[in-house]
């Protein structure tokens, strides 16, 4: 693409309305210094220096979309608890609506608390319920989804196997999107992997394909990866599948079209959150009806850029544009 074309494309992301349905969570961090071992047990003593709370899961996807100028709406279920209040506050502080969040007395708000000492993670504490939503909560969540779908340009399914998405509501949500002619992109996990049928774009990584199809071996060659993607397409009949290949880039298959885009050389600091960035950029490209090769190239570039940052951080729109121009996208 020429510089003006990529500039125009990224400007067109402003105001795109994105409905994200799936698992939202709070990522808490207890950060400190370690210089001794406890006399009570052979464990490090962390001298706490600060606390940090961030949006995680589908919330990080929303942050990426917001950073690119889009209007994200999270459709999820949280608990009637302090953690749920924290999550709502984080969303509001980021300038995002909470109107599509279902507050349930039967759920805990998924919260992951990480204890870091001397820049190393020492412990993670998970506070969550992973059971599927019950019949009533599933109905209420679908009511939120139907209402928000009227204003959506694209829908992202963000599945972390926490129970918000399950076989029955996935089928219902996808049918509603198809009925309204709204493109869909799926970021899957193992439990519901084969439930996402006839989506516009299915975006697993290699580990998720291996687990989802119960494959043995590492899928180390492109021939093996191609064969797995063709098998997957035969089962799910999605319009396109884009597989993130870590340091090898991305592979996208859509009908007879096929693209293998290598990763750009990076100083990798942390791969956490890269998949969230990829799905966010890809969703906006879907909403703007970009060619498949442009979608794959820009989302691949964005995923690599956030890997240069420590921790889970959203993409910076100006940096993505500058890098796209630099590499001649």
User: Residue 321: what are its φ and ψ, rounded to 5°?
Assistant: -60, -45
Residue 1 has pLDDT above 70, yes or no: no
Whether residue 30 is contained in a domain is answered as no
| Number of domains forming the structure of the chain | 1
Whether residue 301 is contained in a domain is answered as yes
Where residue 299 sits, what CATH number does that domain have?
Answer: 3.40.1190.20
Structure confidence by residue, pLDDT tens digits, 100-109: 999 999 999 9
Which residues make beta-bridge pairs with 123? 115
Length of the chain: 329
Whether residue 155 is contained in a domain is answered as yes
Backbone φ/ψ region at 7: left (φ over 0), alpha (ψ -120 to 50), beta: alpha
Mapped to the 3 state alphabet, what secondary structure does the chain carry? Answer: CCHHHHHHHHHHCCCCEEEEEECEEEEEEEEEEEEEECCCCCCEEEEEEEEEEEEEEHHHHHHHHHHCCCEEEEEEEEECCHHHHHHHHHHHHCCCCCCCEEEECCCCCCEEEEEEECCEEEEEEEECCCCCCCHHHHHHHHHHHHHHHCCCCEEEEECCCCCCCCHHHHHHHHHHHHHHCCCEEEECCCCCHHHCCCCCEECCEHHHHHHHCCCCCCCCCHHHHHHHHHHHHHHHCCCEEEEECHHHCEEEEECCEEEEECCCCCCCCCCCCHHHHHHHHHHHHHHCCCCHHHHHHHHHHHHHHHCCCCCCCCCCHHHHHHHHHHCCC
What number is the average pLDDT over the span 260-288? 77
What number is the average pLDDT over the span 168-177? 97
- Active-site residue flag, 276: yes
What number is the average pLDDT over the span 6-23? 94
Whether residue 103 is contained in a domain is answered as yes
**pTM score:** 0.93
Whether residue 50 is contained in a domain is answered as no
For residues 168 and 30, the answer to whether their CB atoms sit within 8 Å is no
Whether residue 114 is contained in a domain is answered as no
Lowest mean pLDDT among 180-184, 204-208, 322-326: 322-326
* Measured distance CA(116)–CA(240) in Å, rounded: 40
Could you tell me the two tokens for 259?
A: 């693209």
* Measured distance CA(329)–CA(326) in Å, rounded: 8
Chain-centroid distance, C-alpha 111: 16
Lowest mean pLDDT among 129-133, 272-276, 311-315: 311-315
What number is the average pLDDT over the span 168-174? 97
User: Going by DSSP bridges, is the β-strand pair 257-261/250-254 parallel, antiparallel, or unpaired?
Assistant: antiparallel
Whether residue 41 is contained in a domain is answered as no
Could you tell me the two tokens for 29?
A: 């961090």
**Domain coverage including residue 76:** 3-23+57-108+130-326
Whether residue 37 is contained in a domain is answered as no
Backbone φ/ψ region at 163: left (φ over 0), alpha (ψ -120 to 50), beta: left
Structure confidence by residue, pLDDT tens digits, 51-103: 999 999 999 999 999 999 999 999 999 999 999 999 999 999 999 999 999 99
* Average pLDDT of the chain to the nearest whole number: 90
Q: Catalytic residue, from 131, 150, 276, 318: name it.
A: 276
pLDDT of residue 269: 41
pLDDT of residue 325: 86
What number is the average pLDDT over the span 128-143? 96
Could you tell me the two tokens for 291?
A: 């060619």
For residues 182 and 175, the answer to whether their CB atoms sit within 8 Å is no
């Amino acid at each position: 693409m020429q510089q003006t074309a990529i500039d125009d494309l990224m400007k067109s992301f402003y105001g795109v309305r994105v409905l994200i349905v799936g698992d939202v969570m709070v990522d808490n961090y207890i950060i400190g210094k370690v210089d001794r071992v406890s006399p009570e047990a052979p464990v490090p003593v962390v001298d706490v220096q600060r606390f940090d709370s961030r949006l995680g899961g589908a919330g990080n996807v929303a942050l990426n979309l917001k950073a690119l100028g889009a209007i994200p709406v999270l459709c999820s279920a949280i608990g009637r608890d302090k953690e749920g209040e924290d999550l709502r506050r984080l969303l509001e502080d980021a300038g995002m609506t909470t109107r599509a969040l279902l507050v349930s007395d039967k759920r805990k708000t998924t919260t992951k608390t990480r204890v870091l000492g001397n820049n190393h993670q020492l412990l993670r504490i998970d506070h969550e319920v992973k059971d599927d939503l019950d019949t009533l909560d599933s109905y209420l969540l679908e009511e939120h989804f139907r209402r928000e779908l009227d204003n959506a340009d694209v829908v992202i399914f963000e599945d972390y196997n926490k129970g918000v998405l399950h076989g029955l509501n996935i089928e219902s949500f996808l049918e509603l999107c198809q009925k309204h002619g709204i493109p869909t992109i799926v970021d899957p996990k193992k439990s519901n992997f084969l439930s996402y049928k006839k989506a516009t774009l299915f975006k697993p990584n290699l580990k998720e394909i291996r687990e989802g199809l119960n494959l043995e071996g590492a899928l180390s060659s492109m021939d093996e990866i191609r064969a797995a993607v063709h098998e997957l397409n035969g089962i799910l009949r999605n319009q396109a599948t884009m597989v993130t290949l870590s340091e090898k880039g991305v592979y996208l298959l859509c009908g007879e079209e096929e693209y293998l885009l290598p990763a750009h050389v990076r100083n990798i600091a942390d791969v956490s959150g890269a998949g969230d960035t990829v799905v966010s950029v890809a969703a906006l490209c879907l909403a703007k009806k970009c060619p498949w090769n442009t979608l794959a190239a820009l989302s691949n570039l964005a995923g690599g850029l956030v890997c240069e940052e420590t921790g889970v951080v959203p993409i910076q729109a100006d940096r993505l544009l500058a890098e796209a121009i630099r590499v001649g996208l």
